[in-house]
Structure 1
Amino acid sequence: MEPADANERGFFMRNERFLREFDWNLIFIFQVILEAGGITAASQRLLRTQPSVSNALNRLETSLGHRLIHRTRGTFELTDYGRLFHEEALRVLRGVERISDLAGDASRLNGMVRIQIANHLDCPVLNNALEVFHERQPQVKLEIESAPSGIIIDNVRHGRATIGFCILNKPQSGLSCHHLSSGNMGFYCGRRHPLFGRENLTLDDLDEHNYISYESDHLEAGLDAVARIGLGNRFRDNRIASSASDEEVLRLIEAGIGFGPLNVSMGTLYVNAGRLWPLPPYEHLPVVNNYLITSPHNRLTLEEISFVEVVEATLETALED
């Protein structure tokens, strides 16, 4: 199998002999010596004789061609080279621990998966994935935070979050964006609104009424499809209230303050309950696109990797159906 690129090919050709002949166990012994604070304490922890541990340190220094530790009576400290080597050794050990995690039994996962989800995201793929993941990993805890799509994008991009579910108008550069599903938004009014119960309305009938919207309802955000017939178009001057939350937009609509957009799946439930009334447009409703976003620069835990894999598998199943 050929290396992926010229840089990788050069690395292996330049260091192949060292990598083949180096005793990697010496790095582990070196770390134990530092953590234990000396040869004697390290030998007790490793269940080895003191001369054996001392010899391992000597072999490591010989392999590297540098003294790593100043060893005199009552003195035990790293040399300048030793400090540099220690930093690299920690990276190696953490990488090996990571490999160990990946090679472990996935059924033992018991950590935490933290997810940020857009306030107004309606995504059956995500709902199904949560169900499947919990069935497979019942010990893993889930922590979900709601936020506007723009904030989630910024959090994932800067490492404040690792997994986000957003409404986007297009994939974001520098992020891994997986399109999960599309949904529709519709306009609704409450029982206290003068348009409630009226049929065969047109957009012209909405012009004189107050408009309620989401904070992200503008042309640059994921709800730009709504904005093009809403705030971004003819209702700009009629905006009377806004919120980032579905529940609060619903509250404002039901209070009769104005009309506003909701996911059709959510709005239909309240229409059937007699609490909302659908408004135009009745056809060709605004489409919003739901995405899973991660960043290649953020390191995911094994629990998070497992969750993302479940989401992707659920998406594949949905596409096949």
Structure 2
Amino acid sequence: MSSSKEKLLRNLDWNLIYTFLIIVNEGGISAAARKLNLSQPSVSNALKRLEEHFGKRLILRKKGVFALTLQGMRIYEYASSAGRMLSNMADHFVEQQDTVQGEIVIEVASYLQCPAFDKAIASYHALYPNVIFCINTQPSADIVSHVAEGGLRIGLSNKKISKTGLRFDFIGYEKMAFYCGSSHPFFNKTDLTLDDVKGSSYLSFESDQPGEGLDVIAQFREGHQFWGRLVAVSSNVEEIRRLIMTGIGIGALTTDSAQTYVDQGLLWPLPPYDDFPMTEIYLVTPETVTLNDIERNFIKQLKKHVREDAKAIYK
């Protein structure tokens, strides 16, 4: 058999308690009705039902008088404490419901340098701090294939192809240049010409091939007869840079990624010094697959920064 206490707790209606708190806090039935957007009879009825539940008069109310009884003061004290805890609980769960959570998977060409992409990550994180970035590096050709096959929905690539089901949005350029390491015979030489560099042992990205992501480098080398013995190949920019710094050959890097190492005396720029090969950067997404909100919002941020960077260039 349930005790009187159990019956009281089981049958207690929080809506009545909440209305009672508002009546007291607002100082009257009329003010509480306005606060709750209810009619005065509805609020009066709620108070009456709560008093019947406890079997006690909670508020003395007659013309010119509005005061809590002793029992009313006790219930108000307990109800206020419970209300604060429930309010904190509500804040927590509402915050969780309103917070964008999840992860965003992006594949990026390993040698790619894109200021708009970096800015988009920073601004997106500021807006949605509970979204986790999962970013992997791949050759451009693989990135395009992954999007086409449906295993990936956002990629940044130097490769553009005409293929049904894929969307390529131009988002920027990369300036490429050739470099050698500190132990290479060309290091610290300022009077080199393109003819001096031709025939040097060469380090290559896997995508430094006609029709691949670094097709522009392949075209440059072919157009200038920039041939030499191939001594190493990698798809990873860190490995290409490390191999260049060993001195076993020369290789191409983005000027932005190489500048810090040039400043440190670990890399040396080689001809051409002004006619730099320029690679294009594309955002690769599926045309026929619906992106989720997390992905759409990130792409929106990325395109915003692309536009802003373009305006800054042409000012």
TM-score normalised by L of structure 2: 0.65
Q: After the TM superposition, which residues 177-188 of structure 1 pair with which residues of structure 2 at under 5 Å, given as runs?
A: 177-188=168-179
Q: After the TM superposition, which residues 127-206 of structure 1 pair with which residues of structure 2 at under 5 Å, given as runs?
A: 127-168=118-159, 170=160, 172-174=162-164, 175-206=166-197
* Matched residue SS, 1:210: strand
**What does residue 273 of structure 2 align with?**
282
**What does residue 213 of structure 1 align with?**
204
Query: What's the offset of the Cα at 1:108?
Result: 2.1
Contact 2:200 2:228 in 1 (8 A): no
Q: Show structure 1 runs of 5+ residues with no match.
A: 1-104
Whole-Å separation in 2 of the counterparts to 1:281 and 1:207: 11
Q: 1:320 aligns with which of 308, 311, 315?
A: 311
* Matched residue SS, 1:165: strand
Q: 2:113 aligns with which of 122, 125, 128?
A: 122
Contact 1:107 1:137 in 2 (8 A): no
Whole-Å separation in 1 of the counterparts to 2:311 and 2:101: 31
Residue 106 and residue 281 in structure 1: after superposition, are their counterparts in 2 closer, same or farther (change >3 A)?
farther
Whole-Å separation in 1 of the counterparts to 2:266 and 2:246: 11
Q: After the TM superposition, which residues 1-321 of structure 1 pair with which residues of structure 2 at under 5 Å, given as runs?
A: 108-168=99-159, 170=160, 172-174=162-164, 175-230=166-221, 234-321=225-312
* Matched residue SS, 1:180: strand
* Matched residue SS, 1:278: strand
* Matched residue SS, 2:158: strand
Aligned residues: 216
CA offsets per residue over residues 261-310 of structure 1, 9 Å max, x none? Answer: 00001112111111011000011100011111101122322211111111
Contact 2:180 2:247 in 1 (8 A): yes
Whole-Å separation in 2 of the counterparts to 1:106 and 1:296: 30
Whole-Å separation in 2 of the counterparts to 1:265 and 1:140: 28
Whole-Å separation in 1 of the counterparts to 2:127 and 2:291: 18
Aligned CA RMSD, in angstroms, stands at 1.8
Query: What's the offset of the Cα at 1:219?
Result: 1.6
Whole-Å separation in 2 of the counterparts to 1:158 and 1:232: 34
Whole-Å separation in 2 of the counterparts to 1:256 and 1:113: 39
Whole-Å separation in 1 of the counterparts to 2:99 and 2:285: 24
Contact 1:183 1:289 in 2 (8 A): yes
Residue 264 and residue 198 in structure 1: after superposition, are their counterparts in 2 closer, same or farther (change >3 A)?
same
TM-score normalised by L of structure 1: 0.64
CA offsets per residue over residues 181-206 of structure 1, 9 Å max, x none? Answer: 11210000001101101112112112
Identity %: 34
Contact 1:110 1:137 in 2 (8 A): yes
Moved over 6 A (4+): none
Whole-Å separation in 2 of the counterparts to 1:131 and 1:282: 33
Whole-Å separation in 1 of the counterparts to 2:221 and 2:97: 47
Contact 1:211 1:238 in 2 (8 A): yes
Contact 1:114 1:144 in 2 (8 A): yes
The amino acid of 2:163's aligned partner reads S
Contact 1:218 1:232 in 2 (8 A): no
The higher radius of gyration belongs to: 2
* Matched residue SS, 2:180: strand
Whole-Å separation in 1 of the counterparts to 2:283 and 2:306: 11
